[in-house]
Structure 1
């Protein structure tokens, strides 16, 4: 989340920003190709530091400035995607927003060069072979680390629902995985990834991180890959659990709900509530259930251990944060976007629909190309 002048702030909630990751594909073969750098170089002429590379040469990332309203955020996401679309086309390639590559040919991906990458390859080895995956990260302004960790404790039960809401990685290496979010099954293989633990204090957090660094588990603090973390570079809490959605609208919807959820649980922190002690085993199964079945299936309620229709869980989340959305001035936009998502399905459902009954993944790639980065 880049810097922005305070005079640009609108809305009543904390500022928030989004990082989106994309894959570069060849428009003829539809295969992911290592051409991210040429797109980044051209896009920087218009986006500056808001576009950058990623771990592999097949990926790139855009970021918004800190925004005060979901309308402002959506405008920045739409602008960045439009620029990417135009720049990719000028270089003879396209960009797509999907949690995993659709067609075969990305394993192992070519890794970008650098000393940090070399240290990562030395530590993580074969894990890099499946790292051509793309997420959306939401930063919400929260400079107090102690408060951020308490908010993290309260957010943990909602992580499976956020997976459900954004599932957009049904294909893996040319095959339908049978999952709505295959990326969610790949990512937790890393040593410090998945849902964060329940933190008892800042000292607890720091001691864990120091232990990981001393043990050689992390390259640096940036490889702390929990799905919620205090940002190492910004005065924010970062929520990292979701697949990148196909459209800017879906990313804005997701970010607005995340910001509202942070504000909502922040009130519980202010009341002195510690947050629920969710059993890690239940949270792990709820992740798996959400990743497998997505919005069209059943979700595990980590508080009760019961299965609930996933769409009902999403609706309940919206109802929970509705007052915050209204206070932030985001309610009308978000409610309309959510209705469209519930009617049309998440990216996983739409990718499968585009692939057709024959399950031809080329149709899914064409759908992604058409809807990720529309441009003139």
Structure 2
């Protein structure tokens, strides 16, 4: 349900935001991921232009929104782009679904697009790329000052475990229950250039660290620092990349609005107090792993204390912290509504597991994800 305040005019100083969603494409009979991404993206582009694109893996496609000011505007664009992708997929004889990892996939290496960057990734990372096909939710929040963006990234780093836990939607991988809520995070953690970003006191230090990692060949180049948080290399945004893609459009909207409020709150702290405390990277990587294992039902790293507490308690504390920013934009109802849905039905990973248990295995999970993605509702 949309609050009336979220569609009211906003102050000009409220940041715009945008969303990218990645999806898998499946054969309607076998439910295996199929390499239909380029054809689906081309067909959908005839309807929504460059708001859709093909992905690294041929079995995926991406939809994105333009910059939006309100939850209402964001919701409208998400539904429009999803509808174009769903329709294009059906026209190509395949189904589209939102999951952080492929529920079912044929044996053998992932089929990737014939692009120089993708071929370079194969040469550098070798067999690590064989099963690397993951679908994420990325949120961009407008922030033009790149030095300030680096400081805000520092303050956002301890929040990554909570974001992973709340958005977990990848319990299955290639037909197997992994035992994790967010196995996409685990697959990404194998790469030295992914996961929590390093702490940097200045933009210059941030760029130096990226260059040093690139020199090791653990990163393709400094411009492709695909950390979970980053000042975008080409856009005037801070990009948050830690979340699994979600079937429910309302959940996606709520994630984006929460992150805008979190960025606004932490940016104000950075403006007043500088680059912020340096949290140990090893501790944060371990906390992200724990969050990926347990999801919403578990305990999670507390950004304030460093201790582990129930995710639901941290979510309540987050609402309290962000209340001024959420009330300024009229987004409180969307965010608390998402937390209410999490409390009632669990995270998206728990729903995938329930479908598999109750309806007959991973094929049934794909079918329900296809339905949920098409209608934009997660249950």
Structure 1 and Structure 2 fold alike (TM over 0.5): yes
Partner of residue 29, structure 2: 28
The verdict on how the C-alpha distance between 1:141 and 1:262 changes in structure 2, with shifts beyond 3 A counting, is same
In structure 2, the residue matched to 1:152 is 153
Return 5+ residue gaps in structure 2 as ranges. 1-7
Aligned-pair CA distance for 1:36: 1.1
Q: Does 1:39 align with 2:43?
A: no
Contact 2:53–2:62, Cα closer than 8 Å, also in 1: yes
Structure 2 Cα separation of the partners of residues 169 and 329 of structure 1: 31
1:372 paired residue number = 373
Residues 168, 247 of structure 1: alpha-carbon distance in 2 compared, 3 angstrom cutoff: same
* TM-score computed with the length of structure 2 as normaliser: 0.92
| d(CA) in 1 for partners of 2:232, 2:193 | 15
- Greater CA deviation, 359-368 or 274-283? 274-283
Partner-residue secondary structure (3-state), 1:153: helix
The residue number in structure 2 matching 1:108 is: 109
Is residue 278–residue 302 contact of structure 1 (8 Å, CA) maintained in 2? Answer: no
Q: State how far apart, in whole Å, the 2-side matches of 1:222 and 1:59 are.
A: 23
2:4 maps to none
1:188 maps to: 189
- 8 Å contact from structure 1 (residues 185, 291) kept in 2: yes
What TM-score do the two structures reach when normalised by structure 1?
0.93
Counterpart position of 1:50: 51
Which consecutive unaligned segments of at least 5 residues does structure 1 have? 1-8
User: Does structure 1 conserve the Cα–Cα contact (< 8 Å) formed by 2:33 and 2:102?
Assistant: yes
SS of match in other structure, 2:122? helix
Conservation of the 8 A alpha-carbon contact between 1:168 and 1:347: yes
**What's the counterpart of residue 269 of structure 2?**
268
Partners of 2:162 and 2:313 in 1: how far apart? 10
Stretch deviating more after TM superposition (151-160 or 305-314): 305-314
SS in 1 for 2:273: coil
Structure 1 match to 2:163 = 162
**Residues 10, 67 of structure 1: 8 Å contact kept:** no
Per-residue deviation at 1:303? 4.6
Query: Residues 215-270 of structure 1: CA distance to partner in whole angstroms, max 9, x if unpaired?
Result: 33332345312110110121001011111111221111111111110001111112
Alignment of 1:289 onto 2:293: no
Query: Per-residue displacement from partner, 1:313-367 (whole Å, max 9, x unpaired)?
Result: 1222122112211101222233223322321221101101111258711121111
The yes-or-no answer on 1:226 pairing with 2:227 is: yes
Tell me by how many angstroms 1:282 deviates.
2.2
Q: Secondary structure at the match of 1:194?
A: coil
CA distance in 2 between counterparts of 1:78 and 1:319 reads 30
Question: Do residues 78 (structure 1) and 79 (structure 2) align?
Answer: yes
- Measured against aligned partners, the alpha-carbon deviations of 1:34-59 in whole angstroms (never above 9, x if no partner) come to 11111111100111001001111001
Aligned length, in residue pairs: 368
SS class of match (1:130): coil
Looking at structure 2, the residues matched to 68 and 302 of structure 1 have their Cα atoms a distance apart, in angstroms, of 28
Larger deviation: 304-313 or 360-369?
304-313
What root-mean-square deviation, in Å, do the aligned CA atoms of Structure 1 and Structure 2 show? 1.9
Partners of 1:82 and 1:59 in 2: CA distance: 16
Q: Deviations over 1:88-120 (max 9, x none)?
A: 111111111100011242641101002222222
Task: Indicate yes or no: 2:10 matched with 1:11.
Answer: yes
**How many Å separate the matches in 2 of 1:190 and 1:10?**
43
Cα 1:214–1:280 change in 2 (3 A) is: closer
Distance 1:107 1:150 in 2: 42
Deviates more, 1:146-155 or 1:27-36: 27-36
Note the 1:291-310 alignment, pairs <5 A: 291-301=292-302, 303-310=304-311
CA distance in 1, matches of 2:45, 2:361: 35
Alpha-carbon separation, structure 2, partners of 1:255 and 1:212: 30
Aligned residue runs from structure 1 range 123-162, under 5 A: 123-162=124-163
Is the contact between residue 211 and residue 221 of structure 2 (CA under 8 Å) also seen in structure 1? no
Contact 1:352 1:359 in 2 (8 A): no
